[in-house]
């Protein structure tokens, strides 16, 4: 028993040595687990072809595609259209009239006597300008004939309108004018009617001549008396006509062509700095279905720079009226295309584009039968038009020197940064383009105010250009962008990023123009070293 | 002399020892019949032993870091958390975390003239995890500290399993009781298992220029059994888990062997090798395989990227070919080896040195224990110090076995100090049990039989 007590005493002693202390675990709960590593992450790669890169600077206004030399080319296309044929040429209302005397004195003849009178009349058509009509095919209008007589006997007349035909031939109107009776009035529709004005009263070729033959018989009875100065009077009206086709000569008159305001959004990205294009072209493509040549005047073409300055197009292409060809009579109904190129050789188009224009105002003047065009027989259909396509073609063969481009991109990833404590972005550029860039990032809040700036630093280096005009190596560059925690907290509230790039082409200082070939690529590898803090409840 | 040894032992314990699983329990030897589970040559002192059902259990948790380093409390806060920075600070080149739960469901012991028989049933669960500084560095610092370098996760090992065993044991004395040899044969039924395949390795190399990742995986297979039944129980019948746990195809026969020899009157040496065998996991098997791969991940194609998080994850996953199979696999039981040398200062006072090695994971360090026990008639008490390696804190252990009538109560702790501010310690080891013990007198010399009248 003593040993048992001893054993108990020893056990108690051992157990008492460490008095229990569990305070560490008292009144406590297991909280969130915090994971706060610094992760080096290869985010990814984005590759831009030249076309894609410039597409970023283009709001869709330009087509970006390689030209025949495989140099990437920006092409803006707009179309203009002339006024309609009926707007260009109007056939005026025509009115002719005359009187034809009996030429005979006869009083109460014993027997009824008939006297016949006939006369061919030639009238000149009235025109708006110096046009000459050989013939007109009408699709609307009316022909009005009015005859009266003061002859003291009954008159029967026949009017043959040689210059007006319907489906059966020349229009012929017959009628009677009783002595002391009312006037004779008759109207005919000119729909599908044809006017032939190409001969004079002698049968010789002429233009704009209207021929009508008036013939009448006077029946003088025993109770009638007539005198030589008594007459039959008539008037002819051609009213409210429209034409289907006019042949002849429309003369020299202006043709109104619509104007266009072409937005060059590509340039709106640029701020200060120089950009010079080596071989820009503005190509005008005229599709003419009018049956007469046109003289084109480029004097109303103007570039509007970003500062609002208007710079007019100048040069020989402006000084000289340009001729647009027309279909011949045998080509009636067809379209003849004429292309006129405005280049640096015949204009100051390079200077216009170097002004970084935001708009191009195109107002083309046109006139029919210019003096510089060979004379040709004219026709005009009511469906004729002059369609004009304007192609501003800008091959990316250029010199850029310190050109500042700005692009605002939306930023909606602020919430994703909540767990970030420090961010080190590494941007590795592999550049085949002869274009280098310094980049500044301006983070903006919802009102557009800059709230945080990543200072300008080289983002990609221009590749060297070989003797063949192509870059001969990939220019590698690496830039680190460190954003500390206080910066991240600011950026969380950003709504957009204004990317400000200062661009310079290879050997720009020597005014060298470099070509951007279609197969060039600019590849960015983006990596990030992120100090993050994530806890187990997801916050 | 005894006092001197005791003091020396305590000093040793306070200066260089750390506690280790079940080593204190081992010192209860033939007093407690359940020690035959770690040394089959132990023969109890009584004729008949019947354990109190499910009242004998042990828990051992051990790591290479203090509990307050695993579950830390940031300054000024009340909540506990896991601080990976602290974990990394505490980490060594190689680290281990081990958990063992053992429940003796039943034990019947019968002592014979020359030995003893036993019939027993146990349920055991273990979790063993090994990790290197590469893993803790990655958890604490990510890979940004290793740009241009390779983080090697290949020293990460993980193994968790649960099984039940039922068996018989026999021990017999030879050479006039100087030599005792014991063996146990047991039918082991695996219930749950999860482990990385042998040789599983992985590295992450972060490129210095673009931070791209080169990820190398070899033998990337995780073998599991029974977990689908556990985690997707809704897919199975209500009694499926119970039926599976009691009887399934994941069976094997395993053995424990032990011997003790007393070459000198004061010297005794012991050796045991336990859990010899392997389980063929055939039922409820799931293998999660990743083909041997060396993949470089350079990020995403950012052109038109939407839902970047998902795309990032998919892109990374697509670098690897993974599948799920149901192929049987085999795992060796975590064999445990105990070697002990004991010096008897008197018949009742024993001074022993124990070596313990487990094969649950590769390179698990051995453990050493220096113990002193004093034995009374029906009691034994002891203190010990243990040592695994130099990184752990100082502890002492204690054990007690006592009989009150036929009821035996025992308890053993490798680390008694864990009760006082347990957050400062890296392990806890507790073994407790109740047995019904009959027939002591038969095996005692008449002179040792107590005269109750004298007490």
Report the run of H or E that residue B341 belongs to, with start and end. Answer: strand B336-344
Integer angstrom CA distances of residue A215 from A121, A173, B5, B64: 11, 10, 165, 136
Q: Which of residues 302-321 of B touch A (CB under 8 A)?
A: 302-303, 305
pLDDT band at A17 (very low <50, low <70, confident <90, very high): low
With contact defined as beta carbons under 8 Å apart, do A477 and A457 qualify? no
pLDDT band at B8 (very low <50, low <70, confident <90, very high): very low
Does the beta-carbon distance from A18 to B416 stay under 8 Å? yes
Check if B138 contacts A (Cβ < 8 Å). Answer: yes
Give the range among A51-60, A362-371, B185-194, B442-451 with minimum mean pLDDT. B442-451
Closest CA to A220 of A166, A161, A179, A163: A179
What span, in angstroms and rounded, lies between the C-alpha atoms of B32 and B43? Answer: 9
**What distance, in Å, lies between the first and last C-alpha atoms of chain A?**
64
What span, in angstroms and rounded, lies between the C-alpha atoms of B18 and B397? Answer: 9
**Out of A22, A32, A40, whose CB is closest to B81?**
A32
Q: What secondary structure does DSSP assign to B156-206, as a single string?
A: -EEEEEEEEEEEEEEEEEETTTTEEEEEEEEEEEEEEEEEEPTT-EEEEEE
What span, in angstroms and rounded, lies between the C-alpha atoms of A155 and A114? Answer: 10
Q: Which of residues 497-526 of A touch B (CB under 8 A)?
A: 525-526
Does the beta-carbon distance from A32 to B402 stay under 8 Å? no
Q: How far is A298 from chain B (nearest CA, A)?
A: 43
Report the run of H or E that residue B316 belongs to, with start and end. Answer: helix B308-317
With contact defined as beta carbons under 8 Å apart, do B291 and B220 qualify? yes
Q: Please, what's the b/e burial string for A42-58 (b: 16 or more CB within 10 A of its CB; e: otherwise)?
A: bbbbbebbbbebbbebb
User: What is the pLDDT of chain A when averaged over all its residues?
Assistant: 89
pLDDT surpassing 90 at residue A96: yes
Q: What is the DSSP letter of A465?
A: B
Check if B455 contacts A (Cβ < 8 Å). Answer: yes
Using one digit for the tens of pLDDT, what is the confidence trace for B370-413?
888 887 766 677 776 665 655 555 567 788 888 777 889 998 88
**Out of B212, B381, B419, whose CB is closest to A7?**
B381
Q: Alpha-carbon torsion A157, A162, A163, A165, what sign?
A: positive
Beta bridge partners of A154: A219
pLDDT surpassing 80 at residue A509: yes
Check if A26 contacts B (Cβ < 8 Å). Answer: no
SS (H, E, C) A320-346: CCEEECCCCHHHCCCCEEEEEEEECCC
Q: What secondary structure does DSSP assign to A483-500, as a single string?
A: E-HHHHHHHTT--EEEEE
Check if B398 contacts A (Cβ < 8 Å). Answer: yes
Check if A480 contacts B (Cβ < 8 Å). Answer: no
Give chain A positions within 8 Å (CB) of B71.
30
Check if A319 contacts B (Cβ < 8 Å). Answer: no
- On the 0-12 / 13-18 / 19+ scale of CB atoms within 10 A, B331 is buried
User: What is the pLDDT of chain B when averaged over all its residues?
Assistant: 85
Cβ–Cβ contacts within 10 Å for residue A362, how many? 23
The pTM (predicted TM-score) of the whole model is 0.71
pLDDT band at B165 (very low <50, low <70, confident <90, very high): very high
pLDDT of the residue at A198: 95
Check if A533 contacts B (Cβ < 8 Å). Answer: no
What span, in angstroms and rounded, lies between the C-alpha atoms of B453 and B455? Answer: 5
Q: Which of A213-227, A256-270, B306-320 has the highest average model confidence (pLDDT)? A: A213-227
pLDDT of the residue at B65: 83
């Amino acid at each position: 028993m003593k040993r048992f007590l001893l054993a108990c005493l020893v056990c108690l002693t051992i157990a008492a040595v460490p008095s229990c202390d569990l305070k560490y675990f008292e009144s406590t709960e297991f909280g969130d687990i915090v994971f706060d590593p610094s992760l080096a992450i290869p985010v990814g790669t984005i590759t831009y072809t030249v076309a894609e890169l410039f597409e970023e600077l283009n709001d869709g206004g330009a087509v970006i595609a390689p030209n025949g030399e495989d140099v990437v080319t920006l092409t803006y296309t707009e179309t203009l259209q002339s006024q309609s044929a009926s707007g260009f040429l109007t056939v005026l209302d025509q009115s002719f009239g005359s009187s034809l005397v009996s030429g005979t004195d006869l009083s109460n003849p014993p027997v009824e006597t008939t006297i016949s009178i006939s006369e061919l009349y030639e009238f000149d058509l009235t025109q708006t300008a110096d046009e000459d009509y050989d013939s007109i095919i009408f699709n609307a209008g009316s022909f009005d004939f009015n005859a009266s007589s003061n002859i003291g006997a009954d008159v029967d007349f026949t009017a043959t309108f040689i210059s007006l035909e319907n489906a059966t031939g020349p229009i012929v109107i017959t009628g009677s004018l009783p002595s002391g009776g009312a006037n004779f009035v008759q109207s005919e529709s000119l729909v599908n009617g044809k006017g032939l004005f190409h001969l004079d009263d002698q049968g010789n070729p002429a233009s704009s001549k209207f021929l009508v033959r008036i013939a009448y018989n006077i029946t003088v009875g025993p109770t009638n008396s007539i005198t030589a100065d008594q007459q039959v009077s008539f008037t002819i009206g051609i009213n409210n006509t429209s034409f289907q086709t006019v042949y002849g000569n429309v003369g020299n008159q202006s043709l109104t062509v619509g104007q266009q305001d072409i937005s060059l959004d590509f340039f709106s990205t640029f701020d200060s700095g120089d950009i010079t294009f080596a071989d820009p072209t503005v190509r005008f493509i005229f599709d003419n279905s009018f049956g007469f040549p046109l003289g084109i005047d480029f004097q109303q073409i103007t570039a509007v720079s970003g500062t609002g300055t208007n710079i007019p197009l100048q040069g020989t292409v402006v000084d000289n009226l340009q001729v647009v060809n027309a279909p011949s009579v045998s080509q009636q109904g067809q379209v003849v295309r004429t292309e006129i190129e405005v280049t640096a050789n015949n204009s100051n188009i390079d200077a216009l584009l170097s002004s970084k224009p935001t708009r191009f105002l195109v107002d083309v003047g046109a006139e029919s039968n210019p003096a510089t065009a060979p004379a040709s027989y004219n026709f005009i259909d009511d469906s004729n038009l002059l369609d004009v396509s304007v192609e501003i073609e800008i091959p990316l063969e250029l010199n850029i020197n310190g050109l500042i481009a700005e692009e605002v991109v939306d930023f909606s990833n602020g919430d994703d940064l909540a767990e970030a404590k420090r961010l080190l972005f590494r941007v590795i550029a592999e550049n085949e383009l002869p274009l280098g860039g310094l980049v500044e990032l301006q983070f903006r809040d919802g009102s557009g105010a800059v709230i945080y700036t990543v200072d300008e630093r080289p983002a990609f280096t221009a590749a060297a250009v070989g003797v063949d005009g192509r870059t001969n190596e990939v220019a590698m560059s690496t830039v680190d962008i460190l954003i500390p925690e206080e910066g991240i907290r600011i950026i969380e509230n950003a709504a957009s990023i204004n990317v400000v790039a200062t661009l310079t082409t290879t050997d720009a200082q020597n005014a060298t123009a470099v070509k951007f070939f279609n197969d060039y690529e600019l590849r960015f590898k983006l990596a990030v070293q992120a100090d993050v803090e994530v806890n187990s409840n997801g916050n | 002399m005894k006092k001197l040894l005791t003091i020396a032992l305590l000093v040793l314990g306070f200066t260089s020892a750390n506690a280790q699983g079940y080593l204190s329990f081992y010192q209860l030897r033939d007093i407690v019949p359940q020690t035959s589970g770690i040394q089959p040559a132990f023969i109890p002192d009584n004729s008949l032993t019947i354990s109190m059902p499910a009242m004998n259990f042990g828990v051992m948790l051990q790591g290479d870091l203090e509990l307050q380093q695993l579950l830390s409390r940031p300054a000024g806060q009340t909540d506990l958390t896991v601080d990976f920075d602290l974990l990394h600070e505490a980490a060594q080149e190689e680290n281990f975390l081990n958990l063992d739960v053992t429940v003796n469901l039943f034990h019947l012991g019968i002592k014979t003239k020359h030995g003893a028989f036993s019939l027993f049933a146990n349920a055991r669960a273990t979790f063993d995890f090994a990790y290197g500084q590469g893993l803790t560095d990655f958890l604490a610092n990510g890979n940004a500290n290793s740009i241009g370098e390779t983080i090697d996760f290949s020293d990460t090992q993980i193994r968790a399993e649960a099984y039940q065993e039922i068996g018989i044991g026999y021990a017999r004395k030879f050479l006039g009781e100087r030599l005792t040899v014991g063996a146990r044969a047991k039918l082991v039924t695996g219930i749950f298992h999860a482990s990385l395949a042998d040789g599983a390795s992985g590295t992450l190399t972060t490129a210095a220029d673009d931070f791209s990742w080169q990820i190398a995986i070899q033998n990337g297979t995780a073998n599991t059994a029974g977990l689908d039944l556990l985690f997707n129980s809704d897919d199975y019948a209500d009694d499926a888990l119970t039926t599976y746990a009691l009887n399934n195809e994941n069976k094997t026969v395993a053995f424990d062997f032990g011997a003790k020899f007393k070459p000198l009157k004061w010297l005794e040496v012991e050796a045991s090798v336990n859990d010899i065998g392997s389980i063929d996991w055939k039922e409820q098997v799931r293998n999660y395989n990743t083909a041997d791969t060396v993949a470089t991940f350079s990020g995403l194609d950012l052109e038109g990227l939407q839902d970047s998080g998902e795309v990032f994850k998919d892109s990374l996953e697509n670098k690897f070919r993974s599948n799920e199979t149901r192929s049987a696999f085999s795992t060796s039981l975590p064999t445990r080896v105990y070697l002990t040398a004991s010096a008897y200062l008197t018949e009742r006072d024993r001074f022993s040195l124990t070596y313990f090695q487990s094969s649950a994971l590769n390179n698990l360090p051995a453990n050493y224990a220096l113990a002193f026990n004093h034995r009374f008639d029906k009691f034994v008490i002891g203190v010990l110090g243990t040592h695994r390696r130099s990184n752990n804190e100082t502890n002492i252990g204690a054990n007690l076995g006592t009989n009150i009538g036929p009821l035996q109560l025992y308890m053993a702790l490798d680390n008694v100090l864990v009760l006082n501010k347990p957050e400062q310690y890296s392990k806890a080891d507790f073994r407790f049990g109740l047995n019904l013990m009959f027939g002591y007198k038969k095996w005692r010399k008449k002179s040792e039989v107590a005269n109750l009248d004298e007490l």
